């Protein structure tokens, strides 16, 4: 799991939107796969945080994103929540 904090000084009090991001990984010359991560953006659409390579199962990441939005999770807790949900 790779974590990129895009704008660490930005206040996180405003509404945060979470979305699924896809990344294609070339593991070798013959192995290529897609992995899914989570992107957090503020109400203006500015990226706050990207967590790459959460899972290769899109349905799992979609479900997690819906829960994050439903419960209005702060980005401060995002990594802990992702780790708690991983099998």
Query: pLDDT for 40-73, tens place per residue?
Result: 998 888 899 999 999 999 999 999 999 999 988 9
Task: Give the predicted TM-score (pTM) of the model.
Answer: 0.81
* Per-chain mean pLDDT for the chain: 86
Based on the structure, what is the number of domains in the chain?
A: 1
pLDDT of residue 11: 47
pLDDT of residue 13: 47
Alpha-carbon distance of 35 to 22, in angstroms, equals: 6
Residue 17 is classified by DSSP as E
| Phi/psi at 82 (5° precision) | -60, -45
* 65 neighbors 37 (Cβ within 8 angstroms): no
Q: Report, as an integer, the average pLDDT of 30-43.
A: 93
Range of the domain at 21: 2-85
Confidence label for 14 from pLDDT (cuts 50, 70 and 90): low
């Amino acid at each position: 799991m790779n974590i990129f904090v895009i704008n660490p000084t930005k206040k996180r009090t405003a509404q945060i939107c979470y979305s699924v991001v896809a990344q294609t990984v070339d593991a070798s010359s013959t192995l290529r796969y897609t992995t899914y991560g989570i992107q957090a953006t503020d109400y203006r659409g500015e990226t706050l945080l990207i967590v790459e390579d959460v899972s290769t199962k899109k349905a799992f990441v979609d479900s997690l994103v819906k829960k994050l939005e439903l419960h209005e999770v702060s980005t401060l807790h995002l990594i802990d929540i992702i780790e708690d949900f991983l099998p």
